Amino acid sequence: LSEIEALGFEVTNVGKRIKSSKQRYSWRLNISESQTTVDLFNSKLSKRLKLFVDSQLMFQEKKKKSEQTRFYFKWKDHNFILLQQGKTFELRVDNVSFSHLQLNYKTKTEFEYSTPQESQPPNPFDVYYKQANTPQLSPTPSVLARSNYSASNLFVKPKVKRTKIDIPEDLFATPQNKNLIKHKSAKQFTTLNSPENKSSYKFLSAYRPGP
């Protein structure tokens, strides 16, 4: 039975006026790499059965209530049996049920798809060719606008008014004379003990550094 594969089975309602009044049982097989379809039409109103193999009529009979249908036929050097089991039908090929054949076919296909392929190292020429022919995508104007907008533009630089502060040159120096006074500007200092300045300048402020 290695040359027989069960492809599928389905039941459809095919009544003209009332769909459920007539049913079609279809079995699809692959025999010697050639697909074969077995169709059984069961009419509930006329109690008539018709069996077709690849649209060729094989049997036709009116079924009785007390009898169980059983058809025998040969197709492509294989023996087929159609059995009625209650309200349904079963097809056998060379005394093997169609459901068993279908299970073996599904297991075989799942095993073939699940078998991992051997990994091979990449060809360096293929890698280079792929990199050389990779299209370079140019950024859109909106992306360029966002990239040109630097982070410094997110902050507003505060306006600082510059002021000039005059720092005495001897602010951090140790004065020789402890009696210093400020006159006119921070850069001009006179001593209180200077005889020429005692009468010329007013005393503004005194700077007395600590001991």
pLDDT at 20 over 50: yes
The correct answer on CATH 2.60.40 for the domain covering 4-114 is no
Residue pLDDT, tens place only, 131-177: 555 556 665 555 455 555 444 455 556 666 776 666 555 555 555 54
Tokens of 50: 């018709």
Mean pLDDT of the chain: 71
SS3 content of the chain, % helix, strand, coil (to 5): 20, 35, 45
The residue ranges of DSSP E strands in 32-111, in sequence order, are: 34-43, 48-53, 56-62, 70-75, 78-85, 88-93, 96-97
Which residue type, as a one-letter code, is found at position 130? K
Identify the residue with better confidence: 44 or 165: 44
Question: Do 177 and 165 touch, CB atoms closer than 8 A?
Answer: no
Which residue type, as a one-letter code, is found at position 150? S
pLDDT-based confidence at residue 9 (cuts at 50, 70, 90): very high
Identify the residue with better confidence: 41 or 181: 41
Per-domain residue ranges of the chain: 4-114, 167-205
Strand partners of residue 92: 81, 97
Question: Do 15 and 57 touch, CB atoms closer than 8 A?
Answer: no
Alpha-carbon Rg of the chain, whole angstroms? 54
Handedness of CA 122, 127, 130, 131 (dihedral sign): positive
Q: Is 100 helix (H, G, I), strand (E, B) or coil?
A: helix
pLDDT at 46 over 60: yes
